[in-house]
Chain A
Amino acid sequence: MVSTETVTALATSKHDTVYVINFWATWCKPCIKEMPYFQALADHYKDQAFSLIFVSVNRPKELSMVDQFLEKQALSARTWLLNEKDPNVFIPAIAEEWSGAIPATLVYHPASGYRAFYEREFTLSSLHDIIDPLME
């Protein structure tokens, strides 16, 4: 369980790492469909300065449900559950341009000040399209 600040603090991390933060929920079908692509991307960059974090927007009291869901998935990336209630508070705090739809993905490269926000679904190739240039 993490606060909104834990997520946004990654932007000012001192590490020369590309952070890919994917917002999802157990009941969001398009989210679940794309999670393996994010994992495959993380596996591809496993020995490099790359960090994938899945952030669930399930309700805090659904922690055990999120855990049960994850046990059935072949996802090794870090997973956080957002310990926040009101989307009108956490959505603009995480990304002002986020209209509120999920899936949503935030990309930070603090070393270069790079930040991008995507309110869309990804395939593995469309993920490579946006991340590969950052990893060069």
Chain B
Amino acid sequence: MDLELILMQLFSGLALGAILVMVALGLTIVFGMLGIVNFAHGALFMVGAYAGLWVAAQTGSFWWALLVAPIAIGVLGMAIERFLIRPLYGRSPDDPLLLTFGLGYVLVESVRITFGTDGIPFSAPEALQGVVDLGVGYFPLYRLFVVGVVALVLLLLWVALEKTRFGLIVRAGARDPLIMKVLGVDVGRLWLLVFGLGVGLTALGGVLAAPMRNVSPEMGTLVLAEAFVVTVIGGMGSLLGAVVAGLLVGIAVSMTALFAPEMATIVMFALMALILLVRPQGLFGRPGAGA
């Protein structure tokens, strides 16, 4: 088989994986720090895409959509944490799980009622249309842009978590909220910000993914399943795990589509089963780690 084709498929896998990284990061941040499995995460990805579509339609600018929609949906996420999830802290872990499961349905149906059930095209800006010569072949410029944006977000996130006082508080709060309380940190406010950040990241994934597919109410369903697979492969709660596993799954799906298209949809599950057999805690998870 043509080496150029394989390399092109590899780049396609990177772009697909980059979107998965954004969604899985949000999922794993919220799980790792708040101990909540957010089943509404896929729906919030979809709402992010619709918010981007709406902002782009109002302003005529993709760039405004890319900036405003994740922030707005992140704020919506903070409201969800404050008014719906916070009253459930300290209760059975099933309660927030059921709540977010139901919330996912409410969000999907709300979007269906507002925007209809048909997929809506969302074009990339003119500056990002076309292809670019990578030396081994031509690659869609927009997909390259997606990989670049995700790399930048990862860099900013790493700096924020590892090099700032806020990051120190978040890391410590994730490991031991009690000690942070007795050292004067309002942990409730911290969780509000963390939940907003997690939701903002998935919304950013939604806006970035929108020009690569039609925006539809169901677009979050498959992404949620994929993000769960990525989170489990990487290790629940591990940020590095989400990044590595996201790219791994993206590339695995893309390469399988090239060699055995009929296997493409199940390869990630096979990969998850294989990794769990060898490392039950996932690639970067800690044994027995949980909320």
A and B co-occur in one complex = no
